[in-house]
Structure 1
Amino acid sequence: MNQLNLMMITSSPEVASFIEQHGVSRIFMDQEVNGKAERQGHLDTHKAAHSLEEVAAVAEAIQYAELMVRINPLHSRSGEEVAGAIDSGAQRLMLPMFTKRADVEEFLALVDGRVPVTFLAETPQALVRIPDWLPLLKPGYDEVHIGLNDLSLGMGLSFLFEPLAIRLLDLAAELFNRHGVTWGFGGMARIGQGELPAEILMGEHIRLGSQWVILSRAFHQGAASSKALMSQLDFPAEIAKLREAQTRWQLANPSELMDNQQKIATTALQIGRSLNV
């Protein structure tokens, strides 16, 4: 029975320290800027680059959660970015926008085993070529996250969850699970919120065997302090609601999980159709 682990983006040491005490297992910091505004400028996604000083401050503040830093897609100075992030306290690196086995080989060589890597499979090419690059990953060390924002954009879709409508992640999930590589996909809003409600999406994570999800902006709204965070929502209570939904779906039978998948498909296609006007 898979346990869904939570990660959240923040550059606030205080917020990072607070959320790691309330169920967040990974603090996600983001240095990716190259090409991101051009791809996602119309989307409500994180686009500000966190500095190495901010990375170091968060690394100093946390005790339990893992600190992951997403750097830019491969370019001429990727080696410097890798070294800078690790020297500043990154315990895991994420590589975005890769497309082929050679990209995975190059990045693993740059990191050279100093920290584990999460490969952000968010291009159609990366998804199609999973059997080619997956054997390069070390099970129990390196991981994969399927990024639905850029994947849907790369496929010319209107809504990020449309790929779930045809069970596009099923084969990827089977390959990851068989290979013993921990993986996750997408982001998740609070229970009762989001265009695709979290309580429905949770069922798909359980059905597929996903083990990681990113808590969306609905959980923090960019709060720079725990006081500001708690003024917007009762964070521990919201995490408890997610865990309650997870437990319900873990107890569901395969037929119920497939019925839920069909509900996701119908909803995702309806939203995509409404946006494609």
Structure 2
Amino acid sequence: MSDSEQPQDPTQRYPQPEFPQQNQEHPGWTGPMDPPPDHGEDSYRGHELLLDRKTVVTGGDSGIGRAVALAFAREGADVMFTYLSAEEEEAQETARLVERAGRKAVSVACDIRDEKQCRSLIERAVSEFGHIDVLVNNAAYQMSQPEGIAAISTDQFDRVVRTNLYGMFWLCKTALPHIPAGGSIINTTSVQAYKPSPHLLDYAMTKGAIVTFTQGLAQMLASSGIRVNAVAPGPVWTPLIPATMPDTTKFGKQSPLGRPAQPTEMAPAYVFLASANASFITGEIMNATGGTPLP
């Protein structure tokens, strides 16, 4: 058993606030973050749970998406992932991690706010892989507005909704003909879906919609043998935080465990839901909130 698999006090396992104050321009980058996010580079150990699966992960350049791409690869899957054009260097690092695990990495610059780019992404996946076993809708956008609804511009609202909802809808719709029975879709919602923070009103709204979409689509596809689930993270230390939050010093301190999650702590939930171990699980929301109770 590796050190990462030994029982550990979860309150002490990773860095705890207070963190240095740090701010970045959106979309944010991993390198300048203090403490650096942990994606499982030195700790995630695969067990061939996804051997030879063909997977697509949106927002795979950093944060939760990078951790999921790395875990999928170490479980034996090939990974196509998306990134924004400004995140080229981040994407190269994710691709390197996947390839070091001995699996195929395909990085695609794709803005999922655009329907044509979503269609092209799925066409590329089918061209590269032949089919799609697992689609992970993880890419998201948020921007904190402490002054409330009056400060949320129409442009911001449109970006949040198109990234978090339209992209997920288009990708699911386009991918479904290429997902065989036994395949699955995994969406990323949030603790914000149930306990919305006022400064993230528009973001929280979309995360609530993802819960409903997941549960409805799961019922629609059950008879086809395709499972649809979601993961609801609590606070997670990713580049989105210094890029969208005005105060990073106490981020995650409000969770019962007293700290934010590291991206690697989210990855096992996606692996489980993608694997045959979850064959009787569909329409479920797996909460990974650090102890915040949810419905």
Q: TM-score, normalised by structure 1?
A: 0.39
Larger RCO (CA within 8 A; separation ≥ 6): 2
Q: TM-score, normalised by structure 2?
A: 0.37
The structure with the greater share of residues assigned to helix is: 1
